[in-house]
């Protein structure tokens, strides 16, 4: 007897299979799942690879069974994936431009509201600082530069955003750690952890510690003076200043070993660190990419940097030191901390110190000379001040007069105002789970990243008169050392000058950087004479300016150097 007759004979009800869902309803179900997935990402922002695969691949593949009767086993998964992701992207896009988005009241370009990839595209040539400045000119003091990102050009927001009671760091620095397992100091978002990790740096840059670094600095600076004084013909001063700064930080961290002033970049160390700065902005804007890039082999350049840093870190551990340098404090040789940091953390911290200190100090000094050579009257004024406090035969490495040299500070400040270290500022964000924050006149919703755009702030005529000109006198007028030009409205709001950022997460190495720059300028101006090289185009340096989180300029400062008699 067949099975059908058995069912009939014993009155057993037959199992009724559901009819195949029609195509339209199947696609609606897939789209609904995509919208729910968008809500999951909006609420929890998962980064675990397994969860991402489950939500973005396994879920639509499972839903593809609804389409099997309509497309067959080969085409159904493809249609389901396409429909799922199209619906999810549409849901995301509509939400981001809708009046229900927390940043709906902040103006900005439509494409910037839709995706952070727009800013990545705009900054591909390194001109992000100019693009954001244009947005501020178009939209005002607060502009939306991403779906959840705003830029602010308002002095009233500085202290509330970055001051003592300001917001924690934003997620941007997470995207480019040297060691994937160690978040660098500049990327730590938890205020308490940041303060703990910052303590060794603070001890390393205290006044007493800085005094101990002066002999190392003097030795390297004397070497720079000798090298420059022996050059024939045109030289690129920016490269020599970078060599000097890298050698000094090599002394401070590893006890020496770079020797760029003596040998040039024979081992490729200088080029390695410079290359590390390039291409970082994508990770800065899209830190979640680290979830995927961390699974890939590191680039040869990054592998080499890690290898060199780890090797030199371990060698320094083994050899110790007879002086209190930066490594002395970072490695807890002073026993001030209960627990010493692991080598992986020191690799991250030492590379951070070499790059952020060496390249930024060299860049600022290069910019000072770049501007002074274009304004010989200012060069002469600096030379006159140096000669007054450090006449021939006087020790220009002695810091006793630096705090009296108002013109020296004026040219440094003016170079920093025009070309700040971080042109686009440092990102801040409300702590997760703590709700919205009020920053000056602005509401910063939880989940929003905010920054004060330093470049725009420093060049705003509301805060600085004649803002686009290199005019060191403004600092003398503001300090009461000179009178404002007759017939001109003088504006100078010192609150808007934030080249090192401000607050507990500002530049911890500021005092060392200023000591180094003052000593370099005094020594070089006292002992050497600089003149523009024939055929040098100063405008080339401006054209090469790039915003790579820190200011980056590869154009030369081409000079002819002679010894002063």
552 is known to lie in a ligand binding site? no
Q: Any idea which residue has 């005092």 for tokens?
A: 511
With beta carbons less than 8 A apart as the criterion, state whether 27 and 83 touch: yes
Q: How far is CA 525 from CA 130, 215, 216, 378, 517, in A?
A: 33, 20, 20, 12, 12
Helix (H) or strand (E) holding 150: strand 149-152
With beta carbons less than 8 A apart as the criterion, state whether 18 and 26 touch: no
With beta carbons less than 8 A apart as the criterion, state whether 407 and 386 touch: no
CA torsion sign for 254, 259, 260, 265 is negative
Burial of 336 (0-12, 13-18, 19+ CB in 10 A): exposed
Q: Round to whole Å and give the CA distance between 448 and 444.
A: 6
**DSSP designation for 19:** P
With beta carbons less than 8 A apart as the criterion, state whether 66 and 29 touch: yes
**DSSP designation for 55:** I
3-state class percentages of the chain: helix first, strand second, coil last, to nearest 5: 60, 10, 35
Q: Round to whole Å and give the CA distance between 47 and 216.
A: 45
Those residues whose C-beta lies under 8 Å from the C-beta of residue 553, and which sit 6 or more positions away, are: 238, 363, 366, 367, 419, 541, 542, 544, 545, 546
| Nearest CA-CA partner of 67 in 17, 16, 28 | 28
Can you list the positions of beta strands (E) in 178-335? 234-236
Q: Round to whole Å and give the CA distance between 373 and 371.
A: 5
Q: Which residues pair with 144 in a beta bridge?
A: 150
Q: Any idea which residue has 């060698």 for tokens?
A: 315
Those residues whose C-beta lies under 8 Å from the C-beta of residue 258, and which sit 6 or more positions away, are: 246, 247, 250, 269, 270
Q: What is the DSSP string of 291-329?
A: HHHTTSPPPHHHHHHHHHHHHHHHHHHHH--SS--HHHH
Q: Which two tokens stand for residue 535?
A: 């055929």
HSE-CB for 62 with a 13 A CA cutoff: 9
**How many residues are recorded in the chain?**
565
Q: Round to whole Å and give the CA distance between 316 and 308.
A: 12
| Helix axes of 376-389 and 510-527: crossing angle, nearest 10 degrees | 90
Long-range (24+ apart) CB contacts under 8 A made by 371-378 are 371/411, 371/414, 371/415, 371/418, 371/470, 372/411, 372/530, 373/530, 373/531, 373/532, 373/538, 373/557, 373/559, 374/470, 374/538, 375/470, 378/411, 378/470, 378/472
Residue ranges of the binding site: 507
Binding site listing for heme: 507
């Amino acid at each position: 007897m067949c099975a059908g007759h058995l069912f009939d004979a014993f009155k057993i009800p037959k199992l009724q299979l559901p009819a195949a869902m029609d195509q339209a309803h199947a696609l609606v179900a897939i789209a609904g799942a995509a919208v729910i997935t968008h809500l999951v990402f909006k609420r929890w922002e998962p980064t675990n690879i397994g969860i991402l695969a489950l939500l973005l691949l396994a879920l639509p593949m499972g839903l593809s069974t609804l389409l099997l009767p309509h497309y067959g086993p080969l085409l159904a998964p493809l249609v389901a994936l396409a429909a799922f992701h199209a619906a999810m992207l549409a849901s995301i896009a509509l939400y981001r431009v809708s009046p229900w988005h927390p940043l709906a009241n902040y103006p900005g370009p439509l494409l910037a509201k839709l995706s952070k990839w727009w800013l990545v595209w705009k900054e591909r040539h390194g001109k992000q600082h100019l693009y954001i400045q244009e947005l501020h000119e178009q939209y005002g003091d607060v502009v939306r530069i991403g779906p959840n990102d705003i830029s602010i050009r308002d002095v009233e927001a500085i202290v509330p955003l970055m001051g003592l009671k300001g917001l924690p760091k934003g997620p941007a620095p997470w995207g480019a750690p040297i060691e994937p397992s160690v978040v660098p100091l500049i990327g730590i978002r938890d205020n308490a952890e940041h303060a703990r990790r910052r303590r060794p740096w603070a001890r390393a840059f205290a006044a007493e510690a800085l005094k101990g670094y002066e002999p190392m600095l003097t030795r390297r600076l004397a070497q720079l003076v000798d090298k420059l004084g022996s050059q024939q013909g045109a030289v690129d001063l920016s490269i020599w200043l970078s060599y000097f700064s890298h050698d000094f930080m090599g002394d401070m961290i590893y006890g020496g070993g770079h020797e760029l002033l003596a040998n040039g970049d024979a081992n490729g160390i200088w080029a390695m660190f410079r290359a590390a700065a390039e291409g970082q902005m994508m990770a800065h804007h899209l830190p979640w990419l680290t979830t995927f890039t961390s699974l890939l082999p590191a680039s040869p350049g990054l592998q080499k940097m890690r290898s060199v840093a780890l090797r030199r870190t371990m060698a320094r551990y083994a050899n110790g030191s007879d002086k209190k340098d930066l490594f002395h404090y970072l490695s807890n040789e002073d026993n001030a901390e209960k627990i010493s940091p692991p080598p992986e953390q020191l690799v991250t911290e030492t590379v951070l110190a070499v790059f952020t200190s060496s390249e930024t100090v060299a860049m600022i000094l290069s910019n000072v000379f770049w501007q002074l050579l274009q304004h010989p009257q200012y060069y002469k004024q600096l030379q006159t001040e140096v000669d007054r406090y450090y006449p021939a035969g006087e020790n220009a490495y002695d810091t006793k007069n630096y705090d009296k040299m108002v013109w020296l500070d004026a040219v440094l400040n003016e170079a920093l105002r025009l070309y700040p270290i971080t042109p686009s500022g440092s990102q801040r964000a409300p702590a997760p789970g703590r709700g919205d924050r009020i920053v000056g006149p602005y509401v910063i919703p939880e989940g929003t990243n905010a920054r004060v755009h330093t470049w725009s702030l420093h060049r705003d005529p509301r805060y600085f008169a004649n803002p686009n000109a290199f005019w060191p006198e403004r600092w003398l007028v503001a300090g009461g050392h000179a009178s404002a030009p007759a017939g001109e409205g003088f504006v100078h709001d010192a609150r808007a000058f934030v080249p090192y950022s401000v607050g507990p997460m500002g530049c911890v190495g500021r005092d060392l950087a200023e000591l180094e720059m003052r000593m370099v300028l005094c020594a070089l101006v006292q002992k050497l004479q600089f003149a523009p090289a024939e055929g040098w185009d100063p405008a080339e340096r401006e054209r090469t300016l790039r915003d790579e989180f820190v200011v980056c300029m590869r154009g030369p400062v081409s000079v002819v150097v002679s010894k002063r008699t």
